[in-house]
Structure 1
Amino acid sequence: MSQATDISPDDRPTGRAMLRGARGRCPACGEGRLFSRYLKVADHCPACNEALHHQRADDGPAYLTVLIVSHLGAPLLLASFIAWRPSAATMIWSFGIGAIVLSLMLLPIMKGGMVGLQWARRMHGFDDGAARR
């Protein structure tokens, strides 16, 4: 028989943790800054001292960012070409710069959301001692 734990899945709501992370805040308390630099996750939350060094976002945020940017850019590229027929150089420059700017804006949001998801689901060392029983 397995021993019942006193931890319910509702004690770390996934949506709230992901929103906090996407805003660049600690998924546990929502107060401390999640990032110490642009994409560098802080080792510990400065407000609640939650250990954040366990995160393993790896390539997930970059993949999601590329997915979103390309799905937004492709229809806009086609629509602007049909509507205005700009030169190839104009389209390369405008959509290239747009893709870079949008990617740089979305990367920390995606990474924070992924760290929040990992924290809420107790992945990669984010579980506390009672969850290991």
Structure 2
Amino acid sequence: MRKSFKIFSGIIIVVAIALTCAWPWIKMDFAGNAHYTGQDKREYDFYTPDILKNMPRISPRYSFDYTNITGPATHVHAMKFYDTDTTREVENYLASLGYRQVKCDVDAVCWRSTDPEEAIDVDILKGEKTVIVQVVYHFT
């Protein structure tokens, strides 16, 4: 009886430690949205797609957003550059990766690659002097 109690207690402790260590990633996996910067290493590594990680930094002040739209199974990853309204470097970067500009329904410049699930929108908020680059993944 005493030996089985020790084994059971050991298993409980191991499971508790594993859950404690894994909880931040579990929480991020089920999050509906997130706002973070490049200094938030865990969120940056987890949410940010490679295309945004390698995006030219056209302003020293920028942040990231993530939104999980559950209805049509869509993930939106956004990078906001503040205090700028130039997009030339971003457009050159996307073109160098093989993306091409396409006509879109929103008031932005839309880019597509051969991946039908991915869309990139580049928009300038004139009143705020902010550039927003959105990477949208449609999983339907």
Give the TM bin, normalised by the shorter chain.
under 0.3
Task: Kindly name which structure, 1 or 2, has the bigger radius of gyration based on alpha carbons.
Answer: 2
TM-score, normalization by structure 1: 0.26
TM-score (norm 2): 0.25
The structure carrying a bigger helix percent of its residues is 1
Q: Which has the higher strand share?
A: 2
